[in-house]
Structure formats: structure tokens, C-alpha cells
Amino acid sequence: MSENTKNQFGATSWDIDTNNGFKPRENTKDLYLRLEQGSNVVRVLTKPHEYLCHQWKVNPADPGFGSRVNSSKFHGSDVLEEKYGSKPKRRWMLYVIDRKTASVKLLDISKSVFDGIRELVRDTEDWGDPSQYDIDIKVDKQGGATGYYKVVPKSKKPMSPADLELKQGIDTDLLLLKCKPPTVDQMNARVAALIAKSPNGLPKTNDLKNVDSKVVETQNHSSNDESNDDFDFPAVSA
């Protein structure tokens, strides 16, 4: 596999093998769809856009779930992987219509949700293109790593005029920006800032490996169902 094929990011397709930047803070209250316990019905509006990120705690003794750190591996280096043993996870972001609020949201998904939608896309006889029907992403917080999410298709139905109007308002530039990998310097600065803010600092041992925290659904993403398998960056489809 060539370096150009391995080092891709952003818009991809649903039919890929999932087993293989540091940005200013912003008000995400209305930007992202937070998947809640139970039913979350959406209509997919865009292709999934891939990126890599960590959920990292400077010190296991620090409170909370840790901090989200986008990976600079696309640029050839990732300080958290190389120095602290934290492996980045593949994630995907896309625009959807949230049926609960009848509004456009960014949906940040991990491997299990991606795989569930991909299975529908591959079932071209019954389902196919996920923009042609609603999808219910069911959340069971007691379901464990394999049962936390379940992707259920609804009946095929064209988008309404109101849906099409909402689709016209999506910001594809913002979606691309959200998935753009930070430079190595930007990621290094992000990690240094987190270390400086940590109440306990780095672990006082020679073993600085800090595995990703086990995280359930929080704010705009989760990492409870992520695989530890090796990955390549897939080629991006037009």
C-alpha cells in the first residue's frame, strides 16, 4: 500500500474495512447530536468523514474521563502514541437530521455505529443508500461493548420538502475542518497544555503508558466500543 493511500483523511465511503486538530473551544450545545439512552432517529445527509483521536488522561488519578485529543498521525507523528502508549481510534463525523428536534446536527460516531450503518449500505436489495430512509440508533447503556449501540433502519421514505430545505443549510467546510488532522506542533502543544493543567501531573514512574479511558456517551462522542486493531488510512472516494 502506498503512502498516499495510507495517509488520507476526511470524506470516505461506507464500504471500508474498519478492522485494519487541535481547535479552539466552541459552544457545541446545538452543533452536535448527543446520542441518548433509548431511541435516536436520524436521516443521514452526508458521507462519513474519518479522523483519528484519543480520549486521554494525563494521570489515572485525575478526575473525569480525560480529554479528547485529535491525532497528528496523518503528518507522520503522534506524541501520545509514541511517548505515552495511547493508540488513536478511528472515528467518523457526518451531518444528520435529528428527528427529535427537526434540525441539522453533526453526529460523531465510532466503529460499532459505523459498522451498523455500513451493513445497511451493503444490503443494496433492501436498504442501500442511508439518505433514503431514517435510521434509529438505539442506545443501551447497560448493553456492554457489543450491545451499547444498535442500528435499526426505518421504512424507506423520500425526504420531505422541509428535510431538503434543512439539507441545503449544512456547512461542509465546517465538517471538513472538524476532521482535519492537527499538525504535529499543534498536537504537541495540546498535550503539553493538558499536562500543565493536570492536578496530579504525569505518573511518577518509568512506565508512562497511559491507556485510553473507558468512556460512555459523553457530550458528542463515545469510545466504549472502539477496537484496538491496527488501521490504515483508507483512500478517500470522490
Answer whether residue 217 is part of any domain: no
Determine the average pLDDT of the residues in 165-178: 94
Cβ–Cβ < 8 Å for 153, 120: yes
What are the residues whose beta carbons fall under 8 Å from the beta carbon of 43, sequence distance 6 or more? 96, 97, 99, 131, 133, 134, 135, 159, 163
**Residue range 128-153, pLDDT digits in tens:** 999 999 999 999 998 887 889 999 99
Domain with 149, as residue range(s), is 3-197
**Residue range 1-15, pLDDT digits in tens:** 444 444 556 777 777
Answer whether residue 103 is part of any domain: yes
Say what the pTM is: 0.74
Q: Which of 72, 69, 59 is nearest to 210 (CA)?
A: 59
Instruction: Count the domains in the chain.
Output: 1
Report residue 122's pLDDT band, with 50, 70 and 90 as the boundaries.
very high
Answer whether residue 34 is part of any domain: yes
Report residue 19's pLDDT band, with 50, 70 and 90 as the boundaries.
low
Q: Which CATH number covers residue 185? A: 3.90.198
> Which pLDDT score, from 0 to 100, does residue 230 have?
31
> Is residue 217's pLDDT more than 80?
no
Answer whether residue 163 is part of any domain: yes
Cβ–Cβ < 8 Å for 97, 45: yes
